[in-house]
Chains A and B, each alone.
Chain A
Amino acid sequence: MRHLLDTRNLDRATALRILDIAEDMADTQSREVKKLPTLRGKTVVNLFFEDSTRTRISFEAAAKRLSADVINFAAKGSSVSKGESLKDTAQTLEAIGADAVVIRHPASGAPQTLATSGWISAGVVNAGDGTHEHPTQALLDAFTIRKRRFGADSRGRDLAGLHVVIVGDVLHSRVARSNVWLLATLGADVTLVAPPTLVPQNVSLWPARVVYDLDEALEQSPDAVMMLRIQLERMNAAYFPTEREYSRRWGLDALRVAALPEGSIVMHPGPMNRGLEISSEAADSPRSTVLEQVTNGVSIRMAVLYLLLAGERDDERGGDL
């Protein structure tokens, strides 16, 4: 795998391979010695143009568990008038000898620009670009759903027949986009729930159903309910009138969570707005996978870094494995 930029273009075989290797990585994390020598001598740079301690330390942990060297580069948001350009930053990393660049950037498409520019020879992992994609999040979410459903028998399995409901600001959510593509690739059935103002105009072509009413969606007995973080700044652009109204109509409160079928899980990519999109009852219930998602995130990121860095390098254009 030369780069991991999105799940839109991630084929089923590669996706399953990542999930299965993550199983192996997860197994090593329960050993006496969690560290593996696999990526010793490789340098992974975390190039974060947006603040994100959680994702950054997850990638850092993943790289270190594989004995790679980690360099953290917290760059200013790129704008023409201040801060170094993406091109100059990238070329500096190339000069340092980065083998992989994990990039989080506020501009959609920045990882793709970086990967196709010819500025660097390192592999690129998209850790979240604007409102476009967050592929490792979707992969760890799929891993979590699979693990909860199939346990020790997860290897090799896809998510065919499982129904996932994703609730929240779909319009601005890279987590939603990445999940829609990956879940569909893995055979799951996806329903998106949001106020009409937070659904993209042309979502009818996506492999997902759109429903405005949360209760209607939950009546379909989903296997997983994924709550997305709502950004309060959206209130100022009139996407919804008040927090209270949002929470009442689209929040996973105690009543709704109690009505979920046995075995349904509640997911959230974090950080949570407790009491807004997700109640404490939901977040703290045994159904909640919030903490496992974090652990699984490290395993998934270990698998991704392994696939990017362990084997022989593909030439220039490189595609998949």
Chain B
Amino acid sequence: MSETLVITGAQLIGAKSADIVVENGVISEIGTGLGRAGARVIDADGLVALPGLVDLHTHLREPGYEASETILTGTKAAAAGGFTAVFAMPNTSPVADTAGVVEQELALGEAAGYATVQPIGAVTLGQKGERLAELGAMATSRAKVRVFSDDGFCVFDPLIMRRALEYVKSFDGVIAQHAQDPRLTEGAQMNEGTVSAELGLAGWPAVAEESIIARDVLLAEHVGSRLHVCHLSTAGSVDIIRWAKKRGIAVTAEVTPHHLLLTDELVRGYDARFKVNPPLRRQEDVLAVREGLADGTIDIVATDHAPHPSENKACEWQAAANGMVGLESALRVVHQSMVQTGLLGWADIARVMSATPARIGRLSGHGAPLEVGSPAHITLYDPSVEGVFGESDLHGRSVNSPYLGRALPGRVEHTVHAGVVTVAGGAVVQELDA
């Protein structure tokens, strides 16, 4: 049973400072001058109160790659970043393409208790792109899977993509596509552009992302289905989504924090912390995705948190793995790139990092605004401080962050998951009583 909390002086969105009372895992009262006998008091003076953040794209690596991350360590990292729910991508070992694996992930998440783990199911068996996985079984399992993705790989065969889009309609599912034409990106190492031409690294052209998105939005329109586009990274992709939405196509899109801030110029120096898929792009692309997130073309921010052990990053670029950890830094990076630039306000942050991801993923009980009756998933963030991001800010098992040594604003002070305090005073609570 969770404890009773009284959060005082928090800055609720669209309101002046207020107190929030949490009882039995639910927000029971909001007002001023509130108190409860025996309650734990959290002083939230100066802190922005957001509904617990929801990440639609996380790699928790368990089962199979526990050296990089486990569901326990990954959800601790999530809590540190202010997340109370994460959608776990299925590129585990074994791949999450059966009811058994997704139910195991769900159970491990419940046991850890730091955040709600909602498994994502693979679209095809083994993510090989040849045969549909048992999407229905995963949907009706205890894990109630609604989001399906072969992330890491593109569902390249147009016929398989069509069938998948059609099939998930029966249980309000959505296919989340990793848009990357494999033939145009064979051996690709970084964005194809001026920098790749100089550095002698094989290029990953923007058209390889855009051509798949263009095809998929037309397929989604044709079969009348929902489509979600993972980690959108180019200006051209934003244009295609804008066009598709104008046409009434039911497509949603996500952008990662790193694509809102970092460019391919960082690849000079061959530091593999900057190696990611889709790759860091040009400054024009960064500005375009920021604009797309600001005007709603891009619906949400999703971290694509991708832990890797140090031997897969401390090596020559070509041999390095793709991916960056991002749960702990996400809100701070979005703060810097979108709030400090005036493109989004905190209400928008609640929308793009909590309400909308929960809605796309059909995750009930998350993303609700902070009001009486809502489940107590709360993030308290201090926007007034600034600090140099370091390894001490990372709470997962891996340290492959592109922000090490970089000044970032803000700090997650407290995170509350279902009424349980998972982060207190900026530190992850090591032993949860729940």
Contact = CB atoms under 8 A, between A and B. Distances in A.
Direct contact of A and B (CB under 8 A): yes
Interface of A: 8, 78-80, 85-87, 105-110, 112-113, 116-117, 129-133, 174, 177, 200-203, 205-206
Q: Which 4 A-B pairs have the closest CB atoms?
A: A132-B200, A109-B270, A107-B318, A200-B197
Contacts of B201: 108-109, 130-132
Contact of A108 (B193, B199, B314): B199
A112 B317 CA distance: 10
A64 to B, nearest CB: 29
A112 B269 contact: yes
Given A108-B318, A201-B193, A80 B200 contact: no
B409 interface: no
Contact of A113 (B194, B198, B270, B312): B270
A198 to B, nearest CB: 12
A202 B192 CA distance: 8
Contacts of B189: 108
Contact of A87 (B203, B269, B314, B317): B314
Interface of B: 189, 192-194, 196-203, 205, 269-270, 272, 311-312, 314-319
B333 to A, nearest CB: 25
B310 to A, nearest CB: 10
Task: Tell which of A108, A132, A177 has the most Cβ of chain B within 10 Å.
Answer: A108
A201 B316 contact: no
Given A201-B193, A201-B205, A202-B193, A78 B198 contact: no
A85 B315 CA distance: 7
B192 A201 contact: yes
A78 B192 CA distance: 24
Contact of A110 (B194, B196, B311, B316): B316
Contact of A109 (B192, B197, B205, B317): B317
Given A80-B319, A201-B205, A202-B193, A132 B314 contact: no
B317 A108 contact: yes
A200 B195 CA distance: 11
A118 B26 CA distance: 52
B194 A130 contact: no
A78 B319 contact: yes
B197 A112 contact: no
30 contacts: A79-B319, A80-B311, A85-B311, A86-B316, A86-B319, A87-B315, A107-B317, A108-B199, A108-B200, A108-B317, A109-B270, A109-B317, A110-B317, A110-B318, A113-B315, A116-B269, A117-B314, A130-B200, A130-B201, A131-B200, A131-B201, A131-B202, A133-B200, A174-B200, A177-B198, A177-B200, A201-B197, A202-B196, A203-B197, A206-B197
Task: Tell which of A129, A202, A203 has the most Cβ of chain B within 10 Å.
Answer: A202
B319 A132 contact: no
Given A80-B319, A206-B197, 19 more contacts: A78-B319, A80-B312, A86-B316, A86-B319, A87-B311, A87-B314, A107-B318, A109-B200, A109-B201, A109-B317, A109-B318, A110-B317, A110-B318, A112-B269, A112-B270, A113-B316, A132-B199, A201-B205, A202-B193
Contacts of B270: 108-110, 112-113
Contacts of A130: 200-201, 318
Contacts of B312: 80
B192 to A, nearest CB: 6
Nearest to A173: B200
A202 B284 CA distance: 15
B295 to A, nearest CB: 29
Contacts of A201: 192-193, 197, 203, 205
B194 A109 contact: no
Contacts of B203: 201
A201 B311 CA distance: 32
Nearest to B310: A87
